[in-house]
């Protein structure tokens, strides 16, 4: 058995994941309320380019966890060769892209906290 499959949820792990969930929810709400059309176009473009990559990583890795069809296993085996935690990387990219799109200080602070919490969850 894989050590990730048998990992027990401790109180610290649950608190880290809850904190990460709250951070990403606040960022999505901030994105929907404070979208700035007059922001730096280059940062805005990079953010919009990173967003589908992060969403794709999250979707592919969650499909791999739900079903074990041949196509998903082939895709995920290539994906897991690039990074051992594709869902974590996807959520980090989503958070970073939302920060680049909104270009708000509060969003930057949330991203720093979110990426730190996700990195602590990996360790």
Residues 54-63 have pLDDT tens digits of 888 888 877 7
Taking CB atoms within 8 Å and a gap of at least 24, the contacts of 112-119 are 113/19, 113/23, 114/20, 114/23, 114/24, 114/27, 117/16, 117/19, 117/20, 117/23, 118/20, 118/88, 118/91, 118/92
Task: With respect to residue 6, please indicate whether it lies within any of the assigned structural domains.
Answer: no
Q: What confidence category does residue 73 fall into, taking pLDDT thresholds of 50, 70 and 90?
A: low
Look at residue 1 in the predicted model and tell me its pLDDT. Answer: 40
d(CA 88, CA 119): 8
Q: Total domain count for the chain? A: 1
Task: With respect to residue 3, please indicate whether it lies within any of the assigned structural domains.
Answer: no
- Tell whether the model's pLDDT for residue 25 goes beyond 60: yes
Task: With respect to residue 99, please indicate whether it lies within any of the assigned structural domains.
Answer: yes
Range of the domain at 45: 11-122
Task: With respect to residue 5, please indicate whether it lies within any of the assigned structural domains.
Answer: no
Task: With respect to residue 85, please indicate whether it lies within any of the assigned structural domains.
Answer: yes
State pLDDT tens for residues 81-101: 777 788 888 889 998 998 888
Task: With respect to residue 60, please indicate whether it lies within any of the assigned structural domains.
Answer: yes
Task: With respect to residue 97, please indicate whether it lies within any of the assigned structural domains.
Answer: yes
Task: With respect to residue 55, please indicate whether it lies within any of the assigned structural domains.
Answer: yes
């Amino acid at each position: 058995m894989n050590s990730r499959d048998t990992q027990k949820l401790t109180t610290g792990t649950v608190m880290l994941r809850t904190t990460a969930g709250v951070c990403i929810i606040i960022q999505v709400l901030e994105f929907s309320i404070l979208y700035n059309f007059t922001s730096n176009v280059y940062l805005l473009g990079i953010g919009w380019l990173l967003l589908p990559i992060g969403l794709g990583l999250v979707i592919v890795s969650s499909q791999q966890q739900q079903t074990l069809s041949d196509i998903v296993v082939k895709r995920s085996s290539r994906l897991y060769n690039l990074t051992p935690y594709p869902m974590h990387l996807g959520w980090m990219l989503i958070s970073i892209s939302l920060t680049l799109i909104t270009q708000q200080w509060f969003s930057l602070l949330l991203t720093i906290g979110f990426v730190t919490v996700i990195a602590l969850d990996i360790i």
